[in-house]
Structure 1
Amino acid sequence: MFRAWFEEPKRTDSGSLLEAVRAITRYRKLLTELIDEQTPQCGKYTRYELWARGLTNALDELEQSVYCASKFRAEVTHDQEEKMSPEERADYRRHVYFYKNGFIRLFSILDKLGYFLNDLLRLKSERVKHKFSYFTVLRQMKHRNAEPGLEGLLYDIKEQYKEPLARLRQKRNMEIHLVNTEMLDDLLHVDLCRADRTYIEDLDANLNDLEQGLEMVCRTLSTVFTYVHHRKKT
């Protein structure tokens, strides 16, 4: 959708994004076949199909946010807002918008996936924490020894992306619960003795974390839905 802004063709999925979309699509196709059989379980299958469809749409929106954040970041050349032209400052603000949108959507996808797994595997994570996260669900899988093959794969992915995810989660928490990322820029980078200078954060480092987060989400979704598709077929 947003690629039209930059006069670019529609996205062609590839790599881990393509694998994730394919894995979810296969699972949805299987669910549709089961729904068509009109068994007593068709209501549950319909719920899972809607869940999987929502994750597909959310993944598309996350990728678009990362794409736009990258495109607008390329237009920013100064590290101080005071040195930017009005056009560059507008592109910086657009970058910040899509960057924030990206990391908020990233954790939203993971939490939606957590609720899906909690329901599918009957983990009862809500007894541990009323508003539980994907990471709570992972711990609950290990505690209950539920699908240890899947839990091991997901844990390895989480650990591989542990550092960028920790930084992104801190930004998400600051954005939602404390102060926004622009205020964090000020707190971290403004020279209190030279308040006329406002340094921005390391945009390349931030963007790299977000791209790593997208990769983590794609690999996680691909792993989950490949596993549950095989589990359902067997």
Structure 2
Amino acid sequence: MFRAWFDEPKRVDSGPLLEAISAIGQYRKLLTQLIEEQTPQCGKYTRYELWARGLTNALDELEQSVYCGAKFREGVKETQEEKMSPEEKADYHRHVYFYKNGFIRLFSILDKLGYFMNDLLRLRSERIKQKFSYFTVLRQMQHRHAEPGLLQPLQLIKESYNEPMGRLRQRRNMEIHLVNTEMLDDLLHIDLCRADRSYIEDLNANMDDLRQGFEMVCRTMATVFAYVHERKKT
């Protein structure tokens, strides 16, 4: 959708995004077949199909945020906002908007996936925490020794992206909660009064974290849906 802003053709899915969308598509196709059979469980299958469709849409929206964040970053050359032209400053603020939108959506889609997994696999994570996250679901799987064939690859993916995801999580918490006690402790180690506030952040490093976070989400989604597809077939 947003590629039209930059006179670019429609996206052609590839790499981890293609793997994730294909895995969800295969699962939805299987559910559709089961729904058409009008079995007593067709209502449950319809609910999971709608859930999977929503996750597909959320993944598409996340990709567009990452794409726009990267495109608007290209128009930012200065490292100080005061030195930017009006056009460059507009690109900078658009970049910041889509970058923030991206990392907020990133954790949102993971949590939606966590609720899907919790329901489908009957993990009962809500007994631990009423509003649980995807990472709570992983811990619950480990605690209950549930679905080891799925847990192991998901843990490996999580560990592979620990550093960028940690930075993105901190950014998300700052954006949503402003400052919590842990972050306040971090800020106490910085001389805020003497800090030069005119320099903007490292936009390349930020976008690299966001791209890695997006890749983590795609790999996670592909792994989950490939697993539940095979699980449902057997």
Q: Into which bin does the TM-score normalised by the smaller protein fall?
A: over 0.9
Q: Does 1:224 align with 2:224?
A: yes
- Aligned residue identity for 1:88: E
CA distance in 2, matches of 1:145, 1:131: 22
Residue 208 of structure 1 is matched in structure 2 by 208
Per-residue deviation, 1:98: 0.2
Q: Unaligned regions of 5+ residues in structure 2, if any?
A: 180-186
The 5 A counterparts of 1:62-211 are 62-178=62-178, 192-193=193-194, 198-211=198-211
Distance in 2 of aligned mates of 1:40 and 1:91: 54
Letter in 2 for 1:3: R
Report the secondary structure of 1:131's partner residue: coil
Does the CA-based 8 Å contact 1:69-1:207 persist in structure 2?
yes
TM-score normalised by structure 1 residue count: 0.93
Cα deviation, residue 178, structure 1: 1.1
Amino acid at match of 2:29: K
Q: Is the 8 A contact 1:190 1:198 kept in 2?
A: no
Q: Which runs of 4+ in 1 moved over 4 A?
A: 187-191
The aligned amino acid for 1:221 is M
Residue number in structure 1 paired with 2:61: 61
Q: Distance in 2 between matches of 1:231 and 1:112?
A: 20
Letter of the structure 2 residue corresponding to residue 176 of structure 1: I
- Report the Cα offset of residue 194 of structure 1: 7.6
The residue identity in structure 1 corresponding to 2:169 is R
TM-score, normalising length: structure 2 = 0.93
Distance in 2 separating the partners of 1:108 and 1:76:
28
1:35-93 deviation line (CA, Å, top 9, x unaligned): 11111111111110011000000000000000000000011011111011111010000
- RMSD over aligned Cα atoms: 1.7
Q: Tell me what 1:45 maps to.
A: 45
Alpha-carbon distance change, 160 to 189 in structure 1, aligned in 2, over 3 angstroms: same
1:192 deviates by 3.4
* 2:184 matched residue in structure 1: none
Which deviations, in whole Å up to 9, do the C-alpha atoms of 1:94-129 show, x marking residues without a partner?
A: 000000000000000100000000000111100001
Q: Tell me: higher relative CO, structure 1 or 2? Use CA pairs within 8 A at least 6 residues apart.
A: 2
SS in 1 for 2:198: coil
Q: Percent identity?
A: 77
SS where residue 99 of structure 2 aligns?
A: helix
Alignment length (residue pairs): 227
What is the identity, as a one-letter code, of the residue corresponding to 1:74?
E
Instruction: Tell me, yes or no, if the aligned pair for 1:62 and 1:102 is still in contact at 8 Å.
Output: yes
- Is contact 1:65–1:98 with CA below 8 Å preserved after alignment? yes
TM-superposed deviation, 1:198: 1.4
